[in-house]
Structure 1
Amino acid sequence: MAAVTPVEYVLRIDAFTPDTMPMARLAEYLGALARLLGHAEHTHFVRLEEGSAKLVHRVDAVDAPKVETRLNGVLVGNAPKEALNAQKAIEQLLVNDNAVATLCEVSSGRVVIPFEGRNRPKPMVFPPFREDTTIDGQIVSIGGRDPSAHAVLQDGDAFHTNIQMKREVARELAPLLYGPMVRLHGNGRFERQLDGVWKMLDFRVDRFEVLDNRPIAEALAAVRGVRDNRLMDAEAYHDISRLQDQGDGDQ
């Protein structure tokens, strides 16, 4: 097996030269680069080369294979979260500086990670819009001194905030605080985030209903009491069996 030797990488940024790069900006790039590489005790900044700003850094032999694996993971999107966040931070710095960059292996010239920077496709921008919808969860906060009341709804690990309603509706909901699951009917305002995810900015409650929290077995027993319920149809039977298995697993 060939001996592992230290490996040098260079981050080439086309918008700067060593004379034009501000010291504070250099520190930001180096900080993000350190998080990208990881293994801080064995990565070292070596020099800033002439031409386009070239940030040369060395990885000690002991961690060179680990850093190479980490950078390959960044390229395909399965690296540790810290490394992927560092990649995004470098991309954002480049966008702000109207620059593009490449991370290359010095000895071979191989491009390890290309950074799009200013060439990154611009995200599609949609104006916020309102739509009638419903949200489910448990009331974990309700009240307020405004003419309209406000609430927070918890659905598992997710929390719906900026929920508004008339005080009359709030009085009816108040006894359900930390109680059963409820479904709020109303109108929400939605906005598309830069990552493509739609976020609900606010929600205006018109009415609500308390959801049936009975165990699956009890609910099925009630349905069986309904004439012509068709529970034994093949497709329905399969779905019900799966639900019962899940319900048994939760006990």
Structure 2
Amino acid sequence: MATTNFTLRIPGRLPDAIPMERMGEYIAAFAHLLGKSNDPRFATIKASSIGIVATIASDRRSFVHARLREAQANPDGNPGKSLHRIEVMLGEDNVRGTTILDAEGNVVANLSVVHPVNNESFTLRQVDTIDGVVTGLIGADDTVNLHLRDDYNRDINVVIRDMTLAREILPHFRSGMIRLVADGPWERTDIGWLPKSGKCVVRSFEVLDMTSVRDVLDRIATLPDNGWDEVPDPMAMWQDLRGSARG
């Protein structure tokens, strides 16, 4: 069976400069980019500026070319996500932008570099609150790691060094929302500040009342002689009073 090949270049690196496990990750990511249906096979690693060479059946060459074009044109598609994964790895390994070559040495894809965000530059020490559901309390000596899941489904890990406080929080395990006051380094994220994992200490907490506004207004409306019982739509009235539009 006639074959051809494609090469992923990793410039400025020799094979013995990258751990074997990491090299395996590059090979797997490259195979995923070329596409399982194209049945890429590992051929060799070129030593001068690492080149990972994959062999493809010649009759699949046009399909690989089409997949690489799609990867560059549509970053949200599966080929595009595979290409992005390699670009992230290049950034993690501090490798400059690179290319994919065909058997004739022609450039068939250009890869940029996605450098990791340095969260350390967006860290500050503060006392702040975080809301969520307790999903875990794990003790070790005089320290308890508390795991909290917030409204954005993020898992947050904070520390409790007061055993009395830990025992008070324990009954609320997976039982409604609580608000923690945490002291320590907080990291800035795309959707607000979060306690740095395992570094912030819980100082206090409170149980949040999860009763909806509509339920509260319905209860108030059942009380005589307070005016709310005469309002046809208490929820609409409340929204008008606070200046919010109805959804």
Q: Which moved more, 1:127-136 or 1:63-72?
A: 63-72
Percent pairwise identity? 20
Give TM-score scaled by structure 1 length.
Answer: 0.64
What TM-score, normalized to structure 2?
A: 0.64
What residue in structure 2 maps to residue 189 of structure 1? 185
Residues 64 and 90 of structure 1, relative CA distance in 2, 3 Å threshold: farther
Q: For residues 96-245 of structure 1, what are the structure 2 equivalents within 5 Å?
A: 101-106=98-103, 109-116=106-113, 124=118, 125-126=120-121, 128-142=123-137, 144=139, 146-155=141-150, 157-191=153-187, 200-201=196-197, 202-221=199-218, 231-233=238-240, 236-238=243-245, 241-242=246-247
* Aligned partners of 1:105 and 1:112 also within 8 Å: no
> Which shows bigger deviation, 145-154 or 23-32?
23-32
Q: After superposition, what is the alpha-carbon deviation per residue over 1:143-190, rounded to whole angstroms, capped at 9, x for unaligned?
A: 635445442223353322233252232233233233221111232423
Tell me which moved more, 201-210 or 73-82: 73-82
1:78 to 76, 79, 98: 76
**Amino acid aligned to 2:214:** A
Partner of 2:231: none
- RMSD (Å), alpha carbons: 4.3
Residue 53 of structure 1, CA deviation: 5.1
Give the gaps of 5 or more residues in structure 2: 229-233
Indicate the SS of the match to 1:152: strand
Query: In the aligned structure 2, how far is the partner of 1:82 from the partner of 1:41?
Result: 15
Q: Is the 8 A contact 2:11 2:96 kept in 1?
A: yes
Indicate if the aligned counterparts of 1:39 and 1:67 stay in contact, CA closer than 8 A. no
The one-letter amino acid paired with 1:112 is A
TM-superposed CA distance for 1:127, in Å, is: 7.3
Contact kept? 2:71, 2:77, Cα under 8 Å: yes
Q: Indicate the larger mover: 43-52 or 74-83.
A: 43-52
Question: Quick one: distance in 1 between partners of 2:47 and 2:174?
Answer: 64
Return the letter of the residue paired with 2:146.
A
5+ residue gaps, structure 1, are 243-251
Aligned pair count? 224
User: Which residue type is aligned with residue 205 of structure 1?
Assistant: V
- Residues 6, 59 of structure 1: 8 Å contact kept: yes
Change (3 A) 1:108 1:178: closer
- What CA deviation, in whole Å up to 9, does each residue of 1:35-54 have, x standing for no partner? 33222653245566797555
SS in 2 for 1:231: helix
